[in-house]
Amino acid sequence: MAKSSIKIRAKVKKGEAKVKCLISHPMETGLRKDKKSGKLIPAHFIQEVVCEHDGKTVMNAQWSGTISKNPFLSFEFTGAKAGDMIKVSWVDNTGKSDTTEAKMK
């Protein structure tokens, strides 16, 4: 099975979860030229990132290609306890996607 493109570090302190994600993705805007061929590299970027906890969406991020390559995302939410699972998923403009679950420490 292919490795996930999403790395998650999540900690819970006093009911508040702090989540950090690092995602492997080229995040091409579609405006960059290939140095060798001179052709435009087609747009290929994550459009949406969703994080779910306990059946609810805690974060829904909508992105353009101007989010950096190998994007980083951090956010916080309450009502969490250590040991809870969270699920992070993304969809890009070509229709590709990935999802990962992680246990919060």
Partner 1 sequence: MNQNRRVLLKGTFAAGATGIAISAGLLTPKAVLAAWPKAAFEAKDTNAALEASLGSSSTTESSDIKLKAPDIAENGAVVPITVTSDIANTEAISIIVAKNATPLSATFNLGATTNGFVSTRIKMGKTSDVTAVVKAGGKLYSTSKNVKVTIGGCGG
Partner 2 sequence: MIKIATALSVMLIAATPFAAQATPDDDLKAFRSYFTKKFPEVPVNDFINGVYSIDAASREQWEAFEEFPSYEISIDNGEEKFNKKFANGKSYADCFPNYKKGIKQNYPYFDTDKGEVVTLEGAINKCRTDNGEEALKWSKGEITEIGAYLASLSRGQKTNVKVPNDAKAIAAYNRGKKHFYAKRGQLNMSCADCHYYYSGSKIRADILSPALGHTTGFPVYRNKWAGMGTLHRRYGGCNKQVRAKPFKSQSDEYKALEYFHTYMSNGLEINGPSQRK
Near partner 1 in 6-65, by CB under 8 A: 16, 24-25, 29, 31, 47-48, 50, 52, 56-65
Q: Of these partners, partner 2, partner 1, none, which one is at the site of residue 9 (CB under 5 to 8 Å by kind)? A: partner 2
Give yes or no for a contact between 86 and 68, defined as CB atoms under 8 angstroms apart.
no
Give dist(CA 14, CA 44) in Å, integer: 39
Give dist(CA 49, CA 12) in Å, integer: 21
Q: Binding partner 2 by CB under 8 A: which of 22, 41, 50, 91?
A: 22
Tokens matching residue 31: 């405006």
Binding site for partner 2 (CB under 8 A): 3, 7, 9, 20-22, 24, 69-70, 72, 74
